[in-house]
Chains A and B, each alone.
Chain A
Amino acid sequence: MTQPEPDLRDALLAAVPSLRAFAISLSGQIDRADDLVQDTLLRALSNLHRFEPGTNLNAWLFTILRNLFHSEYRKRRREVEDPDGSYAGRLKVQPEQGSRLDFEDFRTALAKLPHDQREALLLVGASGFSYEEAASICGCAVGTIKSRVNRARFRLASVLNVNDVDDLGPDSMTRAALQSSV
């Protein structure tokens, strides 16, 4: 599995779709995401000696990508003050259609999350990493990841009106639940 050349090439190529999905979701821009993925692959290849065979290659690659994203993010932050995250502004916003969710609404809501929460939620809720893996990717405690994921979900739910109990009341909550389960 961790033999040198051809297998590694295939393994890296196989990791590209999920790296891209993560990079796009983090940065909100496909071009930038692809540059990030490319830099990740190059860095992985030049640091192969640091990869421990038998450990999770994907987690290692995600760690590299995440670190690259953060150093770039910090650089850009200094260049352009962008308190809301330029990410949010670039995304198409469609008019609300009641409490119905669609991807645009969801992406916009995701873009509004603090970046550490977005990252934690993407790793655990979308990329399928365990809390422990996500903690090691982000270089923080497992409890911190759990807390971020939890807060991210909560914020998304309130932005998307999924959780607006006062507004919906028990009946429409049931309806909402029925809708979502189909």
Chain B
Amino acid sequence: MQMTGEKGNKLARVIPEGSLSDKLESDPKLDSTSQKRIGDQLRAMYDELVQQPVPDRFRNLLDLLEEKDQERST
């Protein structure tokens, strides 16, 4: 907005360090504690999903495809 360049310090407060040329500076920013809590919670939830046993259908599917492949190549 103020393009005169002289009172540059007025603009400085808006831009956190490392903020890139993206739209980032207009986005809301979380404090690091909140960000960590969200991150921890997300990973905990997700890890629970990743830990679930793989359903047999996937193993069977891949085995089946592998057999077919071997048949074809012999």
Chain A contacts to B: CB under 8 angstroms: 5-6, 9, 12-13, 16-18, 20-21, 24-25, 34, 37-38, 41-42, 45, 101, 103, 106-107, 110, 121-122, 125-127, 141-144, 146-147, 150-151, 153-154, 156-157, 160, 162-163, 173, 176-177, 180
Contacts and interface: CB of A to CB of B under 8 A. Distances in A.
B8 interface: no
Which bracket fits the contact residues of B? 35 or more
Given A41-B58, A147-B27, A173-B33, A162 B38 contact: yes
Interface string B45-74: 110111110110111011101100110000
Contacts of A176: 33, 37
Contacts, number: 121
A18 B51 CA distance: 9
A64 to B, nearest CB: 15
A177 B55 CA distance: 38
A16 B54 contact: yes
Interface hub of B34, B62, B66 (most chain A Cβ within 10 A) = B34
The secondary structure that dominates the A interface is: helix
B66 to A, nearest CB: 5
Interface of B: 20-24, 27-31, 33-46, 48-52, 54-55, 57-59, 61-63, 65-66, 69-70
Contact of B58 (A37, A143, A154, A173): A37
Nearest to A105: B41
A9 B17 CA distance: 45
A25 B23 contact: no
